[in-house]
Structure formats: structure tokens, C-alpha cells
Structure 1
Amino acid sequence: MPYFVEFVHYRTDLPEDRLVALRSAAILAVRDAHPDLLSVPALSRGEDGSWTDVWIYRTQEAAEKANAGAGDIPEFTAFAGALSGVEITAGHMPESAVSPL
């Protein structure tokens, strides 16, 4: 079964260290509430100052459930509240495409 990946693009005025701290707390809290969040392996800042996050879930249904319940997770709402211009591109990733590293 393929995994489900969300590429989350956004902007923030936070300093990098504060963004990373809020993001880390959000990831752990979401994972506690939704164990089918498998990995959040990358955060990248673009040349234009925007950010891209990669969230990997076991299934699309798991991602939808996590997204629907995100407003009930204080650590996630603190993180999301610091973001603007959020856009999500999502799709299925074959399990065999996981990095061999």
C-alpha cells in the first residue's frame, strides 16, 4: 500500500530557531494523537523565504483524520498560528520509494 505525503508550503515571520521549536512540538503532539503519522523528514527554506515541510502518513485516510483533528492539538495550533499562505500539495508515494539510506 502506498504512503500518503503532504508537501506543506508556507511563510512565517518567526526566527528560524523558534519555527523549528514550534514545529518539533507540533510533530510530537500530532504523532501522539495520530500514530499513523510516520515521518516528517524534511523542512526546507526556499530562496524566496518560503518554507516547505514534508509530512508522511500511512494512508490518505490517516492524513485526513489527523488534519480534521489538528485544531484539538494545542502544540499544532500554536505552530499553525505562526504560518501564513499555507498551501498543501499531496499525493501517494510507493512504499518502495522510501530512501534506502
Structure 2
Amino acid sequence: MEKTKTIMTEMQSVEDTLKASLHRVDGIEKKLKTKLLTFENRERLERELEEVKEVLKRNEEQLKSLRHENTRTFMVAAALVFACFLLFGLYSMFFGTI
């Protein structure tokens, strides 16, 4: 059975990934501050830090686009509700029954 993904579930998933990436960046930066690292370990951690920052940037862009899409969906729903109330008001005004 396939589970359908809504915009909100996708946004939550991306936000969770962002939190995990930020936590990983903090951990790597703390490890890099220590002077007890070998040259190879330092280079490996710096490469990993760059990769995590790239993932972080992609996820931030994806979250921004999902929020934009969510806003657009909300505006369409609000416009439909407004149109329904407008039509009901016009009908009540012209036919005088409520």
C-alpha cells in the first residue's frame, strides 16, 4: 500500500533532515577545533563538512520551494471560500431568503 505524501509531510521530512544536518555540522566543527587530529583525519572531516553543507543548502532550497507551494495552495483555498461566501451573500441579497 503506497502512502501519499502531502506538502506538509514533505516539509516535515526536509526539516528533520535539516536538523540532522545541522547537528552533524556542529559535531564536525567541534572535532575540527581539537588539535589532536592527524592530517588525514582533518582532511577527511573537512571534506565531510563540505558535503554536509552542500546537502544542507539543497535541503534549505527544497524547503523554501515547498513553503512557497504550500502558500500558493492556501491562497487558492482561501479564494474558493471567499467566492462561496460572495455567491451566498449575493443569492441572499437578491432572493431575500436566509
TM range (shorter): under 0.3
Task: Tell me the TM-score normalised to structure 1 length.
Answer: 0.25
Is the helix fraction higher in 1 or 2? 2
- Pick the structure with greater CA Rg: 2
